Structure 1
Amino acid sequence: MKRLAISSSLHGFRIFNYHPFLGFDPKPFLSQRCLSGRVSSVGSTNIRPFPDYSPKKPAIKDTELVHHISTTIKLRRSEPLRRVLKPYESKFKPDHLIWVLMDIKNDYKLVLDFFNWARLRRDPTLEALCIVVQIAVASKDLKMAHRLVHEFWVKPNLDVDHSFAYFTERLIYTYKDWGADPHVFDILFQVLVEGGMLLEANKLFDKLLNYGLLVSVDSCNLFLTRLSNNFDGIKMALKVFKEYPGVGVSWNTTSYNIILHCLCQLGKVKEAHLLLIQMECRGHLPDVVSYSTIISGYCQIGHLERVVKLIAEMQRKGLKPNQYTYNDVILLLCKTGKVVEADKVLWEMTSQGIFPDHVVYTTIISGFCKSGNISAAYKLFDQMTRKKIVPDFVAYTAMIHGFCQIGKMVEAYNLFSEMLNKGLEPDEVTYTALIDGHCKAGEMKEAFSLHNQMVQKGLTPNVFTYTTLVDGLCKQGEVDIANELLHEMSGKGLQPNICTYNALINGICKIGNIVQAVKLMEEMDLAEIYPDTITYTTLMDAYCKIGEMAKAHELLRTMLDKGLQPTVVTFNVLMNGFCMSGMLEDGERLIKWMIQKGIMPNATTFNSLMKQYSIRNNMSATTKIYKGMHAQGVIPDSNTYNILIKGHCKARNMKEAWFLHKEMIEKGFNLTATSYNALIKGFYRRKKFVEARQLFEEMRSEGLVAEKEIYDIFVDVNYEEGNIENTLELCDEAIEKCLIGKGQRDLQMILQ
């Protein structure tokens, strides 16, 4: 079909694609609901009457032939028309079709049979086609009418401009005397819209207004939906929605839902929300689709709080969220890292009798894997299988990637085999996940073996595959080989990305070649792959480790000048550098500067300072930093407590150390071996033998190794108490852990 390039605001429309939130299907528009109505706002003096039908008069011989045909087909209607009308075929002309139709128009079945017989021999005139369409509509056979009109508009090489004018003219001309049912114009309007002829549909709408007719609201909704396929069309849809009520179109809830969707597509979610509120004021109750559309819009822009309120509001109104609502909420929660909450929504979804598909399960599984909660991911994966929801290769790949991230390669390969057995073909992402797992484990031979296997299967390694291999090589100190791989990658037409360069720079920095790392950064600029925060942070870390704090600070300034936002990791690198260089006052100033710039330090930031002050036996300054940490709402971690406990033990503040020990245990943190050693020695020096022994037994039960000095203490204590069995057990344990000295060996020999 020839399509005009639609000018002005209607330019560039495409065929409508179904969207689940709209719940839109053109077929209902062929039902009895498609009723055009009179335009109430148009004055009767302005309404043009439909013309009278005045066809060409038949000659006498034509009249006789038409009479014979009409009489014959009526009398012999049970016989096939091709047999009945065989004698008349040679004399039958296009005009005869219309004249016969005039005689049989009240017998709809006969009209269709005769029309089909006639058009098998010759294309009917447009006038005859319009007459049959009018009769079909008058007989309430809207599907047939729609089919006949559609068949006309899908003809190849159709001149749309000329055909529109002529078809509309013929339909108007035959309207009054052949049916006078306004549905006929709804059908033409629908066919034009469905065929993407939106400019013509708009012209028809305006033309019908002259005759005092309105296209039905359902047809207008179809028009709005087709308009909403692109940016220009959406703007036109909003204009139509605003202007059509002025000529008498009364929009319904479906109309509002389409416009809500349009506004959300434009990112105008707040305006859409306002329209949702206005719907009720205008007498249109929002339905599940209305709320789901707004919820989807807020999900797209990450406004979780609004989403929660809207779901509560719709539930108060007795509306249950549908599958699409739940899907969007789950996707948003997973995107924002709230996977546990997403899992709860999944449970609520199933409890409401709404069964999630494999996409929803895969989304949450992937979220759990990214957060490192592989056990929860696998539990969900298993649940998916038990519910006979078949995991696709995306779900398998997510699980394989999750297992590889935590080094469980056996489990990853089990799933990989299961995937192959089910006939699911792994792609580049699946292989890259396995390669990454081997690289993280330092198993570069296995990683390259998988790479080769991947190539043999006809899969092309992508940038991520090569980046993973480069990163693995760099972590093994094989920077030269990584560099060669980078050149091979470029030779295959693959452009290294920022992650590739960052991996290589990290490897070069680790072997201490900062000059080469800086040179590589300059090469990145030439390749128009600009260093990011990670690149600068990596290089700053290298400078900090060799005490070049001025250069590290200079890099920070360069980074800020380029508009790159440092992360807390960047500042932690600097803080560690200041602390290692003994520049503790600079470290304190850095924390103040971070807070001023709205970058909240984390526990690691404060821990670095506390550790250095503690090493210097300045527990007053250490405590001050700790209190400052609390004041900023930063929650201490395990390392915080261990630093403080060791510091207070060293300063002989055993009461404070014991209090901190109890607090960290209550919070679920574990002491390190060095903290246990410090506490035990501290209590022993203060003659607190009960507490010291309690901590020593606790340490042993945790599987931690005490210092030789502590074993010496408790071997002597048990021997002096006459507890030979315990003394021997401790001697054996010390031998096993290679801590025993000559004195303990002698004691063991004596006791045995």
Structure 2
Amino acid sequence: MKRAISSSLHRFHHFPLSSFASFTPSSSSSSFGPSNPRPFPDYSPKKLTVTDTHLVHRISTTIKQCRSDSLRRLLKPYESNFKPDHFIWVLMDIKNDYNLVLDFFNWARLRRDPSLEALCIVLQIAVAARDVRMAQRLVSEFWGRPHLNAHHLFDVFTERLIYTYKDWGADPHVFDVFFQVLVEAGMLLEAGKLFYKMLSYGVILSVDSCNLFLTRLGGSFEGMRKAIRVFREYAELGVCWNTMSYNIILHCLCKLEKIREAHGLLVQMEFRGNFPDVVSYSTLISGYCQVGEVEKVLKLVEELRRKGLTPNEYTFNNILVLLCEAGEVVEATKVLRQMSKQGAFPDNVVYTTLISGFCKSGNVSAAYKLFDEMRHKKINPDFVTYTSMIHGLCQTRKMVEANQLFSEMLGKGLESDEVTYTALIDGHCKSGNMKEAFSLHNQMVQKGLIPNVITYTTLVDGLCKRGEVDIANDLLHEMVGKGLQPNLCTYNAMVNGLCKIGNIEQAVKLMEEMDLAGFYPDTITYTTLMDAHCKMGEMAKAHELLQTMLDKGLQPTVVTFNVLMNGFCMLGMVEDGERLIKWMLEKGIMPNATTFNSLMKQYCIRKNMLATTEIYKGMLARGVKPDSNTYNILIKGHSVARNMKEAWYLHKEMVGKGFTLTAASYSALIKGFCKRRKFEEARQLFEEMRTQGLVADKEIYDIFVDVNYGEGNWDITLELCDEAIEKCLVKRN
């Protein structure tokens, strides 16, 4: 607050309100208060008696001749006759010597509290002497005391301040001091009254004072709405808002989720001569991050860069979180690199956010690179980082790496919890390694960690996927015996298990039991049953279930339609698949990469790359981003069709996005290049494939054994022969 008052002293704003007309942001009908402001009153103290005149003269003379350290001793003879009015009369004689005024004031208030009039006079003198700190202290001390009727006292204090203004200082910043103390004390109603009171005298409070007022108003949601109204009203009354003012209102608008209104205000700032700074942009970017508007965020970041501004670390982190939540992890990595270049150093939280984002998108290799980068930069991964990485590895069935990280985590003294164990258990269940999953469950219990419903549901799901429904049912009984109630996910896992073993009739009965238990079958339950019918080629029954879903008010998801699409494609009904996509779009359900992948795969099998390409273009046109499977399907399809230029381009694009080719895609590419007699490209891909740890088939090894033998590369030929025997023959047997 002291800084705000000090900076306001550089502005003089006691002049007629009409001179603010040029700053009016609204129409000419706006009101600026009275056209003829009220004059400040002339100060008229009580008249001195002859006795008073004599005493005041003697005190004044004594004060002027003494030092501050002897004031108390020299004035002792006058203490018994000294009255409050004498103080004001003496001040009139010594007011031009500020230090003397302070000494005398301190002497006087040791005996009794000064009158309100005397306090206001000293306050006026302090502000006129540019001693803002003292002025602020005097007002704060007065308003810091408990008052029986603060509202009445405010009116009296304001009137005394106005009454003493003209003859004791005539510096309008005295009202800023009073206003800011009121705001800091939370007396916002009184502060508002003071603003309008001073307006009637032609005094506009400083923008620093008004900014403080806006800030305090913005402390609650209702206060934010009030701050926005004040911002508009005060501008019409002549307050020249600055960039800080706009930033305060931008913050309020974003908190109230009026993001577009905030964006409009940012645009208006420049037209009003207040150029947005990094805080302005960061506030708006954070607002758009809250509502998930990725495109707006990226445009604002670009605009911010063009203006030579650098986002702060808080803004960077908001952007990264938003991009990761939206699946834009590649774009998030670019932001991370820009962050480092601009001197904003990413910390553990930033890296963990990105790692989690890559893991959720299925791009675990990119997450692992960031994890290694963290360690290289001496940024210690914490429990959350390790858990995110372990969860990502488990989701992609990379259980060896997940177990290694888990051991590393424990070795560093980081404690694991139910979430970490459940992630590992889930990974082993999905990999079909139920023995290891149950071993981890036992470790959990030994450590005193209590398996929750999610842990048990994960184990049940793992057993069901292996068709071990009876054992899963026993585990459910154990779970209930421990006081844990199955949830909808648990029931859905059992329905899925029954469908896996082809017992659809029992699955339907379980759905009926779910109804009785109060767990109503949801979209996942119906989609699971539809999938079972589709895999059995019973598309009519799948359609019936879809209709039942709709009749019950359940909304099918893109996964539901992907199940139907897979059913159509398995039966070669690609035309029905295309009609399904059209129907989805009409219903406002956006297909995802998996939907298009099923169709593209079928057209590739038919060697119809023209139709495949059209589907791919349609997918991109609708803003659907290709995934790893998309690229692998296209690369294999084009390679088989010997469209090597397209296949090579897709390979480069795929790698650039952090995706990895499968062994089958590498093999198709290599064979395609070999058939085109482009052995250098084929050799490069073969080496890349080996570096990735992927195993080529015997036909690929035969090609490169023959090529190297023909070139006379005996060592490489023998090495490839040994490798082929080990990986293609020994392991297979």
TM-score (ref. length: structure 1): 0.70
1:289 Cα deviation (Å)?
A: 3.3
Q: Map of 1:79-478 to 2, 5 A cutoff?
A: 79=69, 98=88, 101-102=91-92, 104-116=94-106, 119=109, 122-156=112-146, 159-384=149-374, 387=377, 394-405=384-395, 406-407=398-399, 408-417=401-410, 420=413, 433=423, 442=434, 443-449=436-442, 451-452=444-445, 466-477=453-464, 478=471
Once residues 156 and 438 of structure 1 are traced to their aligned partners in structure 2, the CA distance between those partners, rounded to angstroms, is 68
Once residues 185 and 176 of structure 2 are traced to their aligned partners in structure 1, the CA distance between those partners, rounded to angstroms, is 14
Alignment check: 8 A CA contact 2:117 2:160 kept: yes
Alignment check: 8 A CA contact 1:291 1:310 kept: yes
Aligned counterpart, 2:37: 47
Once residues 358 and 725 of structure 2 are traced to their aligned partners in structure 1, the CA distance between those partners, rounded to angstroms, is 46
Once residues 426 and 54 of structure 2 are traced to their aligned partners in structure 1, the CA distance between those partners, rounded to angstroms, is 89
Aligned counterpart, 1:28: 4
Q: Which segment is superposed worse, 67-76 or 162-171?
A: 67-76
Once residues 292 and 573 of structure 1 are traced to their aligned partners in structure 2, the CA distance between those partners, rounded to angstroms, is 43
Once residues 670 and 198 of structure 1 are traced to their aligned partners in structure 2, the CA distance between those partners, rounded to angstroms, is 67
Alignment check: 8 A CA contact 2:429 2:463 kept: no
1:211 Cα deviation (Å)?
A: 1.2
What letter corresponds to residue 189 of structure 1 in structure 2? F
Query: Paired residues, what number?
Result: 654
What letter corresponds to residue 188 of structure 1 in structure 2? F
Once residues 136 and 448 of structure 1 are traced to their aligned partners in structure 2, the CA distance between those partners, rounded to angstroms, is 75
For the pair 1:518 / 2:495, whether they are aligned, the reply is: no
Aligned counterpart, 1:659: 642
SS in 2 for 1:280: helix
C-alpha spacing 1:735/1:446, structure 2 compared with 1 (3 Å)? closer
Once residues 695 and 381 of structure 2 are traced to their aligned partners in structure 1, the CA distance between those partners, rounded to angstroms, is 41
1:214 Cα deviation (Å)?
A: 0.9
SS in 2 for 1:214: coil
Once residues 389 and 601 of structure 2 are traced to their aligned partners in structure 1, the CA distance between those partners, rounded to angstroms, is 39
Aligned counterpart, 2:531: 541
Higher relative contact order (CA 8 A, sep 6+): 1
Once residues 350 and 285 of structure 1 are traced to their aligned partners in structure 2, the CA distance between those partners, rounded to angstroms, is 26
What letter corresponds to residue 129 of structure 1 in structure 2? L
SS in 2 for 1:38: coil
1:244 Cα deviation (Å)?
A: 2.4
SS in 1 for 2:642: helix
1:186 Cα deviation (Å)?
A: 0.9
Aligned counterpart, 1:687: none
Once residues 184 and 244 of structure 1 are traced to their aligned partners in structure 2, the CA distance between those partners, rounded to angstroms, is 20
The C-alpha deviation readout for 1:81-130, integer Å capped at 9, x for no partner, is: 67776777777766665555555444433444454555566544433333
What letter corresponds to residue 531 of structure 2 in structure 1? D
Once residues 414 and 729 of structure 1 are traced to their aligned partners in structure 2, the CA distance between those partners, rounded to angstroms, is 31
- Which of 6, 9, 14 aligns to 1:37? It is 14
C-alpha spacing 1:76/1:591, structure 2 compared with 1 (3 Å)? closer
Once residues 728 and 332 of structure 2 are traced to their aligned partners in structure 1, the CA distance between those partners, rounded to angstroms, is 50
What letter corresponds to residue 568 of structure 1 in structure 2? V
SS in 1 for 2:413: helix
What letter corresponds to residue 196 of structure 2 in structure 1? D
Alignment check: 8 A CA contact 2:636 2:664 kept: no
Alignment check: 8 A CA contact 2:43 2:164 kept: yes
Once residues 12 and 478 of structure 2 are traced to their aligned partners in structure 1, the CA distance between those partners, rounded to angstroms, is 69
Unaligned runs of 5+ in 1: 1-24, 646-655, 684-690, 711-725, 740-752
Once residues 169 and 727 of structure 2 are traced to their aligned partners in structure 1, the CA distance between those partners, rounded to angstroms, is 104
Once residues 416 and 729 of structure 2 are traced to their aligned partners in structure 1, the CA distance between those partners, rounded to angstroms, is 51
Alignment check: 8 A CA contact 2:596 2:615 kept: yes
The C-alpha deviation readout for 1:597-651, integer Å capped at 9, x for no partner, is: 4656567557767989999xxx59x889757745745878477579979xxxxxx
Once residues 52 and 602 of structure 1 are traced to their aligned partners in structure 2, the CA distance between those partners, rounded to angstroms, is 79
For the pair 1:480 / 2:473, whether they are aligned, the reply is: yes
Once residues 600 and 306 of structure 2 are traced to their aligned partners in structure 1, the CA distance between those partners, rounded to angstroms, is 52
Once residues 81 and 437 of structure 2 are traced to their aligned partners in structure 1, the CA distance between those partners, rounded to angstroms, is 88
C-alpha spacing 1:505/1:210, structure 2 compared with 1 (3 Å)? farther
C-alpha spacing 1:604/1:166, structure 2 compared with 1 (3 Å)? closer
What letter corresponds to residue 441 of structure 2 in structure 1? F
1:200 Cα deviation (Å)?
A: 1.7
Q: Which segment is superposed worse, 324-333 or 566-575?
A: 324-333
What letter corresponds to residue 326 of structure 2 in structure 1? T
What letter corresponds to residue 269 of structure 2 in structure 1? M
What letter corresponds to residue 479 of structure 1 in structure 2? A
C-alpha spacing 1:534/1:209, structure 2 compared with 1 (3 Å)? same
Tell me the percent identity. Answer: 58
The C-alpha deviation readout for 1:656-692, integer Å capped at 9, x for no partner, is: 957389976885555659x99xx99xx9xxxxxxx9x
Aligned counterpart, 1:10: none
C-alpha spacing 1:62/1:333, structure 2 compared with 1 (3 Å)? same
What letter corresponds to residue 209 of structure 2 in structure 1? S
What letter corresponds to residue 475 of structure 1 in structure 2? G
SS in 2 for 1:476: helix
What letter corresponds to residue 453 of structure 2 in structure 1? Y
Unaligned runs of 5+ in 2: 19-31, 465-470, 621-625, 652-660, 703-719
1:208 Cα deviation (Å)?
A: 0.7
Alignment check: 8 A CA contact 2:422 2:458 kept: no
C-alpha spacing 1:632/1:50, structure 2 compared with 1 (3 Å)? closer
Aligned counterpart, 2:563: 573
Alignment check: 8 A CA contact 1:400 1:415 kept: no
